[in-house]
Amino acid sequence: MHPSFERDRCAEFVRLFAAAQRRLFLYALSLLHDPVEAEEVVQSASVVLWQKFDDFAPDSDFTSWACRVLYYEILKWRERRAKQGVSLSPEFLESLADEASLLLNNVDRRRDALHRCLAKLRPRDREMLLERYRDGNTTETIAERYNRTVGAVRRALHRLRMSLVECIRREMAQSEHP
């Protein structure tokens, strides 16, 4: 295989894996309920993912594919644990995996709804929310910047949060029933 092609494939794998790693960890955690074990399984699965990367279809969803591979690695890990006297049935684990997949999908839908709702806000309101929750500025700092009282900023942020919650609910309902 040509070295530059291999380098490009490696870079593509690293990019996709890095983007999916947190979600893979959360998926493993939802099935294992132990962060240390989840991290160990994700790490060992990363080797398997690289070994099987040629099987990945570039036009498909890497995270979904990786979760499926990770699921089988979790099954193997569970089998090893069962030999030590700790086990869950494969059927129960499969139902947990299905539920975890739905939850991951729901997180993506909620994030997309949040982005759409943020885009609907007035620029000044959106900026205030982002300054507080993305940038971590205190309400005092924001109050100074906007020449408002701290109480007024807190009320405005509360109103904006409630507005976002309602907007996200509507967006989620609309995406379920277009």
The whole-model pTM stands at 0.49
Query: What is the percentage of the chain residues whose pLDDT exceeds 70?
Result: 86
Q: What is the pLDDT of residue 143?
A: 95
- CATH number of 65's domain: 1.10.1740
pLDDT at 86 over 90: no
Are 170 and 98 in a shared domain? Answer: no
Average pLDDT, integer, range 115-144: 92
Cα 71 to Cα 67: distance, rounded to the nearest angstrom: 6
Are 89 and 146 in a shared domain? Answer: no
Cα 54 to Cα 83: distance, rounded to the nearest angstrom: 32
Are 30 and 93 in a shared domain? Answer: yes
Are 96 and 138 in a shared domain? Answer: no
Say how many domains are in the chain.
2
Q: What is the pLDDT of residue 125?
A: 94
- Is residue 113 situated within a structural domain? no
What is the DSSP secondary structure assignment for residue 134, as one 8-state letter? T
pLDDT at 103 over 70: no
Assign 102 a pLDDT band (cuts: 50, 70, 90).
Answer: low
Cα 161 to Cα 168: distance, rounded to the nearest angstrom: 10
Q: Tens digit of pLDDT for each residue in 33-47?
A: 888 889 999 999 999
Are 5 and 54 in a shared domain? Answer: yes
- Is residue 114 situated within a structural domain? no
